[in-house]
């Protein structure tokens, strides 16, 4: 499995701005600062592709990326969508409602969307917002790929048991990931490709 190409396409807030080429699309959702943009950069093997910030709540629009992956003897075109994080306290209620609306409209109406990567912090486990997102995706029949990230911040002996505990809590498979050391890179890509292939 090899990434051949990864590039930023555009930022969008309104539906009219969503890219039109019919590539299978995968969205990345999760709490603000959980590591969505960093995960995209790591999967794409391209530092600085998606903007990473030490200030939470920086991603305020939908950011689209086009990738080409070599896997299983063929090339796959896949589009990523980096969504603004939820649960960030330091913004006004109005702004939070606008974000929620933007995310919900996208997740509900984006026809090319074939999977949603829900990212949780391995050290924290699923928050109330994460649980709501997972329930909501289930109700709208959007397939969720749950990934527990920042695994490198846990002691080695705690990593697998922590991922298993989150699986039990959610009754869903969970992939352990670290953008720092690359744990889970292949597993996340495999899950994404499986969703993309199922939608073809």
Ligand X SMILES: Nc1nc2c(ncn2[C@@H]2O[C@H](COP(=O)(O)OP(=O)(O)OP(=O)(O)O)[C@@H](O)[C@H]2O)c(=O)[nH]1
Q: Shortest distance, CB of residue 191 to ligand X, whole angstroms? A: 17
Q: Which is nearer to Mg ion, 50 or 69 (CB)?
A: 50
Which one of residues 16, 54, 128, 156 is an interface residue with ligand X (CB under 6 A)?
Answer: 54
How would you classify the pairing of strands 113-121 and 74-82? unpaired
> Does residue 85 interact with ligand X by CB under 6 A?
yes
- Told to check if 63 binds Mg ion by CB under 5 A, we report no
Residue with tokens 């080409």: 68
Identify which of residues 28 and 162 has a Cβ nearer to Mg ion in the complex. 28
180 binds ligand X (CB under 6 A): yes
171 contacts which partner out of ligand X, Mg ion, none, CB within 5 to 8 A by kind? none
Cα–Cα separations (whole angstroms), residue 70 to 82, 189, 190? 22, 11, 12
* 35 contacts ligand X (rule: CB under 6 A): yes
**Residue of 198, 101, 97, 67 lying closest to 145 (CA atoms):** 198
Angle at 41 between CA 37 and CA 44, to 5 degrees: 135
Taking each helix axis from N to C terminus, what angle separates 185-199 and 36-44, rounded to the nearest 10 degrees? 90
Rule CB under 5 A: say whether 59 interacts with Mg ion.
Answer: yes
For ligand X, the binding residues (CB under 6 A) are 30, 32-38, 52-54, 56-59, 85, 149-150, 152-153, 178-180
């Amino acid at each position: 499995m090899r990434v051949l190409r990864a590039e930023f396409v555009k930022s969008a807030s309104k539906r009219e701005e969503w890219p039109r080429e019919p590539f299978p699309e995968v969205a990345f959702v999760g709490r603000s600062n959980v590591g969505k943009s960093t995960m995209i950069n790591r999967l794409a093997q391209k530092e600085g592709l998606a903007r990473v910030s030490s200030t939470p709540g920086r991603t305020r629009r939908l950011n689209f990326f086009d990738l080409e992956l070599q896997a299983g003897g063929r090339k796959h075109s896949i589009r990523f969508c980096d969504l603004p994080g939820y649960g960030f306290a330091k913004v006004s209620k109005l702004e939070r409602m606008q974000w929620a609306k933007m995310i919900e409209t996208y997740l509900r109406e984006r026809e090319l969307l074939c999977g949603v990567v829900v990212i949780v912090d391995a050290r924290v486990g699923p928050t109330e917002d994460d649980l709501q997102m997972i329930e909501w995706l289930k109700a709208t029949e959007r397939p969720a790929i749950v990934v527990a990230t920042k695994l490198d911040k846990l002691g080695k002996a705690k990593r697998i048991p922590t991922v298993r505990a989150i699986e039990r809590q959610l009754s869903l498979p969970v992939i352990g990931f670290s953008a720092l050391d690359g744990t889970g890179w292949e597993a996340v890509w495999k899950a994404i490709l499986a969703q993309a292939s199922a939608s073809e």
